[in-house]
Chain A
Amino acid sequence: MTLRSIGFNSAVLALFALVTSLILAITNDMTFERIAESERKAAERALLEIIPLERHDNDLLMDVHPVPEQYWAMLGLKKGGNIHIARDQGDPVAAIIPAVTQDGYSGAISMIIGINFDGTVAGVRVVEHRETPGLGDKIDLKKSDWILGFNGKSLLNPQQSDWKVKKEGGDFDQFTGATITPRAVVNQILKSLQYFENDRERLLTISAANAALEMEQAAQ
């Protein structure tokens, strides 16, 4: 008797599992493509904010190159990261470089820094941070447009000695009540620019190779 009821109950549960997995399978199938599309768009959005579509014509998500291990320390990366290169009709436009600084007020600040191949900053976005709300979180574009102040800066503009916050005699604004966070961001951007200066030639070769590959694929 007991055995029979166990068997019956198992059958009922199995039926449920079957029906629900079927429903899930159908939903998954219906939404699969849209989800992939949404995910791609979301990943691309930050990159496109720095280098808009008018400035390049390649797929930024496809053009991925790992950061060489000798530069990890310079960019503050612990597990490495990927550089995206933007091209316009085969000519290299800019590179988007991941960087992390540990010198923030609380924990790591990770950002992506777009640098044009002429050495100027195309744009910076903070991707993740845990700075104090109301003080240090103004590095986030959602809270303040301070981060846009880096656009167009380079290793020569301002002078390297002026890559500091104003409180320390440099060229960049700090926030009222917070010096540490902007200082950390300024320093890391400076370091990333220096990295780019060192690695520029190699990135150009890679870009040229990829451009050739693209041309070939397009021809086929």
Chain B
Amino acid sequence: MAFKQVTSPHAHSAQNTAKVMQLVLLATVPGLIALTWQFGWGSFINIALASVTAVSCEAAIMRMRGRSVSFYLRDYSAVVTAVLLGLALPPLAPWWIVVVGTVFSIVVAKQLYGGLGYNPFNPAMIGYVVLLISFPIQMTTWITPLALLPLGTVHPGLIESLQIVFSGYTPADGVTGATPLDTFKHSSGLLADQIYAREPLFNQAMLAGAGWEWVNLGFLLGGLILLSQRIFTWHGPVGMLAALTLMSLIFWDGGSSSSPGSPLMHLFSGATMMGAFFILTDPVSSAVSNRGRLVFGALIGVLVYVIRAWGNYPDAVAFAVLLANFAAPFIDNYTLPRTYGHVDRRRATEKEDQS
């Protein structure tokens, strides 16, 4: 009588890659709704455009590598990368921005390294950073949030948005503006209270900047759904958010003219929540063990704050995640979990038989 031979672990999970990816896609919906409500149809178009590009690139590369195209497309990982990039890009960015970024994400950052599971860096963030350093003007032009639109104007409708994206005509001046992090950083010489009183971006908001706080709340909600579904553990996000809070508390100094901003602003502005729940939780490019993820998340939190406060760019989630990706193997080396049946934790570099 022959038994089927299976290696351990013998436990089965109901999740496969495609299911996990589908859940992640679903969980971005609250954030997408918030983005569309506050900034118009731009993010929607970004996502659609990025998805089409990503799937075509993935299929083309798979064909070139002689692999089954349908098998690899069915795991949805290319679509997830595209959606995350589309969400991160400024709404109503010209179409070629989205296309160039997505091509870089899929072809260079993912497939050239060997495809899903082999990429040392988060593909969506590589695409974002390439765009940010190459086209700083387009990448820092953000749509004015709903609450701040001049009286009587609305965001362009879907048809008009498509025209803006594809024809390259830029929307009127009142429709674009700086982000809260940008505004805060540029208003040096003013007390935090004065900035909050002067800038409508802050005085029309409840927490951390009109529009942006809703987007962050949306991603927080989506992240909590994923957490409750055990798609990832709490360690990474908590590590990052705790470190960011701690850093901003230490350096807040009550809002003097040189303060880098309040903890609330740092938590609910920019890409904080999206980064915490959707970017650094990427299982491929993050640290592996729970302790490792805590350290990995904390490192990102610290880096985000350092670059935001004293760096050259107003937001820093993408840079911080990529730098932490570099460090992930190193973190893994020192945070190997205790193997079942062994007393002590081992380091990855230790020889097996030293007893």
Direct contact of A and B (CB under 8 A): yes
Contact: B312 with A177, CB < 8 Å?
Answer: no
A11 at the interface (CB under 8 A from B): no
Q: Whole-angstrom distance from the CB of B319 to the nearest CB of chain A?
A: 13
A161 at the interface (CB under 8 A from B): no
Contact: A134 with B312, CB < 8 Å?
Answer: no
Q: A105, A106, A134, A180: which has the most chain B beta carbons within 10 Å? A: A134
Looking at the complex, which of B121-129, B132-140, B247-255, B275-283 is the stretch in contact with chain A? B132-140
Contact: B134 with A134, CB < 8 Å?
Answer: yes
CA distance A179 to B133 in the complex (A): 18
Contact: B312 with A105, CB < 8 Å?
Answer: yes
Number of interface residues of A (CB under 8 A): 10
CA distance A180 to B136 in the complex (A): 15
A27 at the interface (CB under 8 A from B): no
CA distance A66 to B141 in the complex (A): 44
Interface 1/0 per residue, A90-122 and B, CB below 8 Å: 000000000000000110000000000000000
Q: Whole-angstrom distance from the CB of A148 to the nearest CB of chain B?
A: 21
B338 at the interface (CB under 8 A from A): no
B186 (CB) vs chain A CBs: closest residue: A180
Q: Whole-angstrom distance from the CB of A119 to the nearest CB of chain B?
A: 29
Number of interface residues of B (CB under 8 A): 9
CA distance A133 to B136 in the complex (A): 8
Pick from B135, B141, B186, B312: contact of A179, CB below 8 A: B186
Chain A residue contacts of B137, Cβ below 8 A: 134-135, 176-177
- Known contacts: A105-B312, A106-B312, A177-B141. The answer to whether A135 contacts B186 by CB under 8 A is no
A132 at the interface (CB under 8 A from B): yes
Contact: B186 with A134, CB < 8 Å?
Answer: no
A134 (CB) vs chain B CBs: closest residue: B136
Contact: A177 with B140, CB < 8 Å?
Answer: yes
- Known contacts: A177-B140, A177-B141, A180-B186. The answer to whether A132 contacts B312 by CB under 8 A is yes
Interface residues of B in 308-330 (CB under 8 A from A): 312
CA distance A158 to B140 in the complex (A): 31
Q: Whole-angstrom distance from the CB of A182 to the nearest CB of chain B?
A: 12
Chain A residue contacts of B141, Cβ below 8 A: 176-177
CA distance A9 to B339 in the complex (A): 60
B312 (CB) vs chain A CBs: closest residue: A106
Interface residues of B in 185-206 (CB under 8 A from A): 186
Q: Whole-angstrom distance from the CB of B7 to the nearest CB of chain A?
A: 51
Chain B residue contacts of A176, Cβ below 8 A: 137, 141
CA distance A45 to B107 in the complex (A): 46
| New A-B pairs, 5, CB < 8 Å, besides A132-B136, A134-B135, A177-B140 | A105-B312, A132-B312, A133-B136, A134-B136, A177-B137
Could you pull out 9 A-B pairs where Cβ atoms are within 8 angstroms? Answer: A105-B312, A132-B136, A133-B136, A134-B137, A135-B136, A135-B140, A176-B141, A177-B136, A177-B137
Closest 4 CB pairs of A and B: A177-B137, A134-B136, A135-B136, A177-B140
